[in-house]
Amino acid sequence: MSRVSKRPLDERLLSKIYRLFYEVFSRNKNQDDFLLIIDDILSSSEKIMLSKRLAIIYLLIKGVDYRDIMDTLKVSSATVVFYASIFLKRSSKVRSIIENMLKKEKVLNFLDDFFADIIIHPGIYKGHWQMYWDHKRKQESRKILV
């Protein structure tokens, strides 16, 4: 649980703080810069909390069972139900971003499988058995992430 002061901020000041927050986070050029900023600003427990929240939303949108989410992320059933009620019943920016990510992921996985089926012919060409098994391992690891 995050600790927030009980004394509320003025709305104009809060708006300015949010703008500053946006400016700091939107200025990074790559993932490494983003992670450095996150390390500077957030404590380790805050990073874990935010990451788990996003993971819960991601897994809910993918259709993963509540109990699997609870066991995997070590969160309570109340937490999973809370995020399910918020993100599965209404549209939000986070939900649309994750849904777009999943659509791209499905297309890329389909293309990868399609070209592997065309190119890899084990037993016909020397070395294709290794490519075949590498592709099979990659497919299995994708199934684990689902």
Determine, yes or no, domain membership for 2: no
| Closest residue by Cα to residue 49 from 33, 38, 36, 65 | 38
Determine, yes or no, domain membership for 49: yes
Determine, yes or no, domain membership for 1: no
Q: What is the predicted pLDDT for the residue at 110?
A: 72
Verify that 51 and 76 share a domain, yes or no.
yes
Domain count, the chain: 3
- Structural domain of 29: 9-41
Burial of 29 (0-12, 13-18, 19+ CB in 10 A): exposed
Determine, yes or no, domain membership for 105: yes
Helix (H) / strand (E) element for 82: namely: helix 77-87
Q: How far apart are CA 53 and CA 41, in angstroms?
A: 18
pLDDT tens, position by position, for the chain (146 residues)? 556 778 888 899 989 998 998 888 888 778 888 888 888 988 888 889 988 988 898 888 888 889 989 988 999 999 999 998 887 777 778 888 888 888 887 777 777 776 676 666 666 566 667 777 777 787 777 765 54
Determine, yes or no, domain membership for 3: no
Does residue 47 contact residue 38 with C-beta atoms inside 8 Å? yes
Determine, yes or no, domain membership for 4: no
Verify that 85 and 132 share a domain, yes or no.
no
Verify that 109 and 139 share a domain, yes or no.
yes
Verify that 96 and 146 share a domain, yes or no.
yes
CB atoms within 10 A of CB 97: 13
The structure tokens 């890899």 sit at 120
Q: How far apart are CA 17 and CA 11, in angstroms?
A: 10
Verify that 145 and 116 share a domain, yes or no.
yes
- Residue 8, CA distances (Å) to 5, 13, 14, 117, 124 in order: 7, 10, 9, 60, 71
Verify that 34 and 53 share a domain, yes or no.
no
Verify that 36 and 55 share a domain, yes or no.
no
Verify that 65 and 107 share a domain, yes or no.
no
Helix (H) / strand (E) element for 9: namely: none
Verify that 108 and 67 share a domain, yes or no.
no
Does residue 79 contact residue 56 with C-beta atoms inside 8 Å? yes
Q: What is the predicted pLDDT for the residue at 124?
A: 59
Verify that 98 and 146 share a domain, yes or no.
yes
Verify that 24 and 71 share a domain, yes or no.
no
Determine, yes or no, domain membership for 27: yes
